[in-house]
Amino acid sequence: MLGDPTVGKKNPNLGPIRNGPFIALRIVPATLGTATGLATDNEARVLDTAGKPIAGLYACGNDMTSPMRGLYPGAGITIEPAIVFAYRAAMSLNTAATEAA
């Protein structure tokens, strides 16, 4: 019910996957995750006590503080941020590697 109705399929959450790059990650079923964890920025970089990124340290999923801050708006609320922040961490690492080259 929360998917993209313009996809035009019975399940609006499923659409074609056409353009790479593609990233695979292992998702293991578990109990509901936590709301607190390591503080991160928008690039999934772990922050120190002064709020500055720790070089080379990233977190996602249940290891990071939930963007929902303890709210539970619906199913998938632990999976979606895990996927999004894993992607953002990978893009950040790629950018850093490209700039270093």
Q: Supply angle C-alpha 95, 22, 93, rounded to 5.
A: 20
Over the stretch 13-67, which tens digit does the pLDDT of each residue have? 766 778 888 877 787 776 665 677 899 999 999 999 999 999 989 999 888 888 8
Which parts of the chain fold into alpha helices (H)? 79-100
Grade residue 10 by pLDDT with cuts at 50, 70 and 90: confident
Using the 8-state DSSP alphabet, how is residue 6 labeled?
A: G
CA pair distance 35, 2, nearest whole angstrom: 23
Cβ within 8 Å of residue 69, ≥6 positions away:
35
Grade residue 89 by pLDDT with cuts at 50, 70 and 90: very high
Amino acid 19 reads N
Pairing status of strand 53-58 against strand 45-47? antiparallel
- Tell me: pLDDT of 91 over 90: yes
